Structure 1
């Protein structure tokens, strides 16, 4: 009887571990399918945005930079070697709030990112912080910079959502009057570390 109970407890433990592992797998970091070729080279951005926006976006860059020394973000200090532009423009036909536009290339049969441009859609209202009816600049920047690392949304829009996933910076929706996407969850940090 003792051996039978021990066997049942062992099997139950294995099943619980396996099921928790499978549940965790549903929200593991997702890749866009490509990363940057050299992990140690920073992603340098040019921008003509005003100093206030630039300072706020730099905070979003620092949030990802603090995760690891690999694939650091920085604003470009010269007119050469930029790997992307960050800009804002009115895009009335588009429903997105912010978007990362990648340029990719192939090397040794694999696809890598060679450029990552980010645009804020100014048909929407933006603010620094939680403001009713406005999107937080830093939250949107941090999310789009995650895409610039090659990180996809934590799941597709039609995928089953899990409890707490709206707290992820890489959640697939943005919210007005909210700043939680400024701070990376462990999921978001693991996403960068899994790619680099």
Structure 2
């Protein structure tokens, strides 16, 4: 099957054409060696997607549709790992999976720091394009666990717990720092779940737990 590039073009969109960024233009022309008339797909990252063609530094807009935000909502609250490369891995993989939002946690034992906003958004945009998604990953924080939305179920990953139920209604997966949460840092009402018997790195736990929560929320079904 012929590969059709998928581009994130932030809205609002006006007119019959969309401007292609310099980075996109270089990639399309020099790496993919596409010429005028090549087919493209595109999204505004807020649910609207379309199919168009490349003309110069423009996308000629074609048929477009609005894709509803997936439900139920699934987010990940995570204490940033210690190194930038591991933080980037968290962002890219959660964006590819289709997680709705990352909450960066400020914890007493945490040793990492959240990435700069522009870096995180750039990583999320690249992952959105790679995975051909329609909704761009959002970010909040740093915040404490106690400041996470009260309307969402908190699923706190703890090795000495039980796996989550076979069916859940979304929620927020909570991944602490490698040294663990301090006593009293996690609300008593939070649900504790196990992600297996092994000790996982922060980024591994985030991806494994997010996949499990998406699956049991029905978000991975075709």
TM-score (norm 1): 0.31
Larger helix share, 1 or 2: 1
Q: Which has the higher contact order (CA 8 A, sep 6+)?
A: 1
TM-score (norm 2): 0.29
